[in-house]
């Protein structure tokens, strides 16, 4: 159909030619048929899926071939139907073919460029959409695994210790079972809410540390320095818990004599500061800690943007400190 339009606009200028409309009709019809055959050829040979160089070569060949086919058929039909323009009747057959082919080639090239550009735009848009969808899916799964965060090593060790306590200290065994059940429940529901109060989070941390103290006994010393006014501040669920677990996993459980862990929460410079200080050192376990640190930073970023921050570093040869800074909610 584009053909008709182009020829029409061109034809206006040379309307004095006899057989004009017949020619126009013929050319439009031919153009229509030709472009459909071309489209067919392109999808048959899967030209669009070959690499760029092959595509260009392929298209060029296609265009030339079709131009020649077009011009030959055009001239023959015109001759046959006696609708040839008088101005061109004098040229030899070969000459006529080349002229017509050249003209056709130009139009076909333009048409092809439009066709291909259109397809590329559609395809890259689709790819963008797919990419974004894939990224969203990956993030979702990541978040699920971080939050639905049940540490099997800890669970089974805790159960083993509790079983031993049943005879040795039945009361302690009972409270330990309650503590474990609190932790499991909190692990399972942590992905339902955006934030919890510091008080709630601390309860879980206390239960967790109580259980770890059963295992480590005197090898784990725990201290809390919590400003009471910070207790109702919102914090991301299981974030403090993860950091405390890391402190135990990479710090205290790695030293034969054990160590201590201090948890501090207070207001500082209009921010809410959470600090975990523990025996241990960073350098060796940089890789394993990576996952927890990365996800902590991500969560803080998602929730608070640049208003929150997280850092972890050695503050002496035997101590590590992790600091979370959160905005204050009134």
Partner 1 sequence: MSRKAIIIDDERLARTELRKLLQEFPEIEIVDEAANVDEGIDKIDLHHPDLIFLDIQMPGKTGFDLLQEIDRAPHVIFTTAYDEFALKAFEVNALDYLLKPVEPRRLADAIHKFSEVIQKETTGTGEFINRDKLNDNDQVFVKDGERCWFVKLNEIRLFESVGNYAKVFFGPNKPLILKSLNALEERLDEKVFFRANRKHIINLRMIDKIESYFNGGLLVELKGGDKIEVSRRQTVKFKEMMSL
CB of 252 to partner 1, least distance (A): 8
Burial of 326 (0-12, 13-18, 19+ CB in 10 A): buried
Q: Could you give the CA distance from residue 258 to residue 251 in angstroms, rounded to a whole number?
A: 8
Asked whether 211 and 176 are in contact (CB, 8 A), the reply is yes
* Nearer Cβ to partner 1 (134/166): 166
Q: Could you give the CA distance from residue 39 to residue 118 in angstroms, rounded to a whole number?
A: 13
Asked whether 18 and 86 are in contact (CB, 8 A), the reply is yes
* Nearer Cβ to partner 1 (164/193): 164
* Nearer Cβ to partner 1 (161/233): 161
* Nearer Cβ to partner 1 (28/214): 214
* Nearer Cβ to partner 1 (97/158): 158
CB of 164 to partner 1, least distance (A): 4
CB of 131 to partner 1, least distance (A): 32
CB of 145 to partner 1, least distance (A): 15
Q: Could you give the CA distance from residue 252 to residue 278 in angstroms, rounded to a whole number?
A: 8
Q: Could you give the CA distance from residue 248 to residue 302 in angstroms, rounded to a whole number?
A: 26
254: tokens are 């790695």
Residue 219, strand partner residues? none
Q: Could you give the CA distance from residue 151 to residue 266 in angstroms, rounded to a whole number?
A: 29
- Contact set with partner 1 (CB under 8 A): 152-153, 155-157, 159-161, 163-165, 167-168, 214-217, 253-256, 258
* Nearer Cβ to partner 1 (54/160): 160
CA distances from 232 to 77, 183, 202, 229, 263 (A): 89, 20, 11, 7, 16
CB of 153 to partner 1, least distance (A): 5
Asked whether 179 and 155 are in contact (CB, 8 A), the reply is no
CB of 235 to partner 1, least distance (A): 28
């Amino acid at each position: 159909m584009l053909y008709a339009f182009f020829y029409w606009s061109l034809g206006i200028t040379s309307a004095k030619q006899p057989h004009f409309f017949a020619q126009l009709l013929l050319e439009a019809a031919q153009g229509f048929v030709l472009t459909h055959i071309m489209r067919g050829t392109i999808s048959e040979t899967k030209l669009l899926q070959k690499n760029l160089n092959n595509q260009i070569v392929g298209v060029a060949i296609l265009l030339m071939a079709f131009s020649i086919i077009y011009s030959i058929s055009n001239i023959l039909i015109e001759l046959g139907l006696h609708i040839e323009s008088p101005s061109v009747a004098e040229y030899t057959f070969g000459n006529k073919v080349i002229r017509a082919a050249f003209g056709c080639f130009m139009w076909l090239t333009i048409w092809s460029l439009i066709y291909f550009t259109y397809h590329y735009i559609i395809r890259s848009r689709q790819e963008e959409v797919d990419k974004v969808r894939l990224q969203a899916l990956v993030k979702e799964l990541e978040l699920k695994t971080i939050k639905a965060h049940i540490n099997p090593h800890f669970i089974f060790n805790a159960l083993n210790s509790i079983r031993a306590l049943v005879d040795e200290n039945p009361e302690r065994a009972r409270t330990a079972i309650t503590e474990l059940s609190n932790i499991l429940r909190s692990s399972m529901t942590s992905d339902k809410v955006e934030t919890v109060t510091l008080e709630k989070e601390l309860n879980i941390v206390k239960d967790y540390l109580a259980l770890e103290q059963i295992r480590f006994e005197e090898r784990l010393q725990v201290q809390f320095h919590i400003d009471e006014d910070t207790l109702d501040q919102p914090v991301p669920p299981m974030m403090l818990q993860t950091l405390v677990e890391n402190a135990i996993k990479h710090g205290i459980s790695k030293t034969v004599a054990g160590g201590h862990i201090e948890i501090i929460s207070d207001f500082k410079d209009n921010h809410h500061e959470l600090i975990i200080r523990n025996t241990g050192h960073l350098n060796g376990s940089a890789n394993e800690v990576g996952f927890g640190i990365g996800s902590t930073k991500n969560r803080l970023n998602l929730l608070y943007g640049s208003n929150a921050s997280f850092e972890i570093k050695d503050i002496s040869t035997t101590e590590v400190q992790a600091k979370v800074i959160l905005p204050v909610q009134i």
